[in-house]
A and B are shown apart, each in its own frame.
Chain A
């Protein structure tokens, strides 16, 4: 144990009885040790003196009222936060429903031949087929690997046209696409190909 450690332990009353007696003996005989010891004692006494320092009464009396004000404002902040949070959740929910609705409705606008065919009544189908008998312009869009007859056969299958109707009307792809916009024609053609190839 070095000198400083013994001094501090002596001041803090952490030495054993034997160590304490030995230290006190050394203190009597060593001027250096005594000088050093007194510096530590001075420091200890200064801290003890300052332990009793009191705060101004006016300041002390102001602490609780300020605390109560802060408590009140933190409560109202809490309510505002909760309301804001609830509003945000609601807004996010409404927006997500709107997005999902938009997505679903735009999807349903895509061309779906079987659905289209099913949506027609028998009289509408007959009307459609009759109109296709007239001489109209056609657009050639055939893939090099798919024959005209094949496309026609697929059209008939997609539209679920019965054999009786087929006998009466010669349904061809060219006829069906007459009168449609180019974009619509492309859609139908690609739809047929993707379904079947």
Chain B
């Protein structure tokens, strides 16, 4: 039984009233949701908030899921939209409160990353990612961390493949320049 079929059965079961099926589905995708949000927002608290919001949306809107795509694509779209919205909100807040850029050290939340060695590399990459414009960051994360094809990304973002490739090219080049500067 492939993953899609399993997911569809869990969804149907949940829609019939079985909350446990929802929990199973949520546990299956929560980590992917977290990582996408974390890479987009660069902050554990914000990523955690996005995870909670996405679960609430899933719970209330799964009855609108039409089984034409995979549930992961559906969830991913919600996560991406919410993350971008939160980025815009943060930008506006900084603009109106004249506050400095938030220090994304995530002190106190480092232990959410299980492997100590990976933590340092992750934090370094996270800082570089945050310097990318949000659209470039999004495509870079989707291609390199979520292994999404341009077709899938086009479906999620609604952008043309040509535009996505151009964005990805600029993102990759910029990341390399940032890495050089960082040493």
Contact = CB atoms under 8 A, between A and B. Distances in A.
Same complex:
yes
A42 to B, nearest CB: 8
Nearest to B144: A47
Contacts of A28: none
A8 B56 CA distance: 39
Nearest to B179: A43
B52 A54 contact: no
A122 interface: no
Interface residues on A, range: 20 to 34
B112 A67 contact: no
B113 A55 contact: yes
A73 B22 CA distance: 18
B173 interface: yes
Contacts of B35: 53, 55
Contact of A64 (B23, B115, B145): B23
Given A54-B115, A56-B114, A46 B56 contact: no
Contacts of B30: 60, 63-64
Contacts of B31: 54-55, 60
B6 interface: no
A66 B121 contact: no
Contact of A46 (B34, B111, B121, B172): B121
Interface of B: 23, 26-27, 30-31, 34-35, 48, 51-52, 55-56, 59, 111-115, 118, 121-122, 125, 143-145, 147, 168-169, 172-173, 175-176, 179-180
Q: Which 9 A-B pairs have the closest CB atoms?
A: A47-B144, A67-B55, A59-B112, A54-B114, A53-B118, A56-B114, A56-B112, A63-B30, A8-B172
Interface of A: 4-5, 8, 12, 39-40, 42-44, 46-57, 59-60, 63-64, 66-67, 70-71, 74
